[in-house]
Amino acid sequence: MSTQKNPPDNCLSLNVELKGNLGFVGELTFDGKLEGDIISDGMLILGDNAVINGNVRVGSVVVRGTINGTITATDRIEIKSNTQLFGDITTSTLVIEEGATFVGKSDVNPKKTQSDSISPGASAAAGTTSSELPSERALYPKAQPAIRTPRQRG
């Protein structure tokens, strides 16, 4: 059995310019320009010359180039140095290399992503019961409004 790494299934190079949404299966290396969204459960690798004006929703992504839009990855987002990313990101694992520009909000929550993909009752099979988990009220107690009463002078 060979352990040799296969080339990517799909490759769109530097001279490619697309307008519209892009979908793929497996892995895609993209180094061109896109005005639209990328949607897949697979792995996206953006090249140094990639320019994306749209949203990205994939399984995992290695980000290079310039992106203007939100990125959502169920597994992992890796932002390489010299990347310019202007938009929010949501993922379970985030890696940002030194030298990257990221302007936006990040939502990194491995437990949320894992619980979204696990069916009800699967947590018990994994060795965790619902009674062991903290309640939502314990994690996020609602703040009570401050009540001010006038001081009585007497």
What pLDDT, in 10s, does the model give residues 84-104? 999 999 999 999 999 999 999
119 occurs within a structural domain = no
Three-state secondary structure call for residue 132:
helix
Residue 147 reports pLDDT greater than 70? no
pTM over 0.75: no
pLDDT range class, residue 14, cuts 50, 70, 90:
confident
52 occurs within a structural domain = yes
Residue 27 reports pLDDT greater than 50? yes
33 occurs within a structural domain = yes
136 occurs within a structural domain = no
> What is residue 13's predicted lDDT score, i.e. its pLDDT?
86
Give the number of domains in the chain.
1
Mean pLDDT of the 17-29 span: 94
107 occurs within a structural domain = yes
Domain extent, residue 37, equals 10-112
H or E stretch at 73: strand 71-79
Query: Six-digit token pair at 123?
Result: 């947590």
48 occurs within a structural domain = yes
Mean pLDDT of the 16-45 span: 95
CA pair distance 91, 28, nearest whole angstrom: 19
139 occurs within a structural domain = no
Nearest to 79 by CA among 54, 53, 108: 108
Mean pLDDT of the chain: 78
> What is residue 110's predicted lDDT score, i.e. its pLDDT?
76
83 occurs within a structural domain = yes
Query: Six-digit token pair at 131?
Result: 């009674």
pLDDT range class, residue 6, cuts 50, 70, 90:
low
